[in-house]
Every structure is written in structure tokens, then in C-alpha cells.
Amino acid sequence: METVARSQYNRISAQKARLVANEIRGYELPDAIDVLKAMPQKAAKIILKTLYSAGANAKYVNPDVLENDLFIKKIVVDVGPTLKRYHARARGRGSRIRKRTSSVLIVLSDEN
């Protein structure tokens, strides 16, 4: 059985979030939660919320499933839409500020 959780429009660049996602790929659910709680990065908190949601989705679909049986089968961090802003510069010019967003997809499975 596979369950999916997705969070979109996270205000962090995908490049930064992928560094955290690569650390927990393939881990069992309780181990991944422990690792993310110990990480100081902003992306760890975002991915942790998505991971909790995936676990809750698994419990909703199959109430008999144990948390220890679930593992992260797939975790993907994609680029989301970029917010474009301008910052005033010297001599009446402006420079572009790109506020990047990302989306996280987590697939949990209990099958080997």
C-alpha cells in the first residue's frame, strides 16, 4: 500500500530543500522523523510537516498499518512558481529579486 502527501508553494528554494530530502530518502518513518527533528534547516520543518501528513494519510487509508512498517519510498522536491519583486538601486534603476518556491512530494509504502 502506498500513500502520498504533497505540500506546494513552500517559500524555500528547491535546491536548499533537496539537501534535506536527500538525507532521509529510504528511511523508515520513525527514523526519518528523528533525523528531521535534529536538523536546524528551515527545509527540515517543512518536510517534517509533509511527512506527518503522509503518515496520517496512511493511517486513514489503512488503520491497521504500523508506523514502524512504513518507509519513504519516494521523496521529490520540485521547483514551484517564482515570485518576482524589484529592489530600488542607484540612479533610478531597479534590480530583480526572485523569491523562489518549491513543492514536496512524499510517497510512503509498507511493501518491500
Closest CA to 34 of 76, 68, 78: 68
For residue 112, the model assigns a pLDDT of 65
Cβ neighbours of 7 (radius 10 Å): 16
Cβ atoms 43, 19 nearer than 8 A:
yes
Q: Indicate if the pLDDT at residue 83 is higher than 80.
A: yes
Report pLDDT for 48: 97
- Are the C-beta atoms of residues 5 and 106 closer than 8 Å to each other? yes
> What pLDDT sits at residue 89?
96
Residue identified by cell 517534517 is: 48
Domains by residue range for the chain, with CATH = 2-109 (3.90.470.10)
Average pLDDT over residues 9-24: 97
Compute CA 64 distance to the chain's CA centroid, rounded to the nearest angstrom. Answer: 26
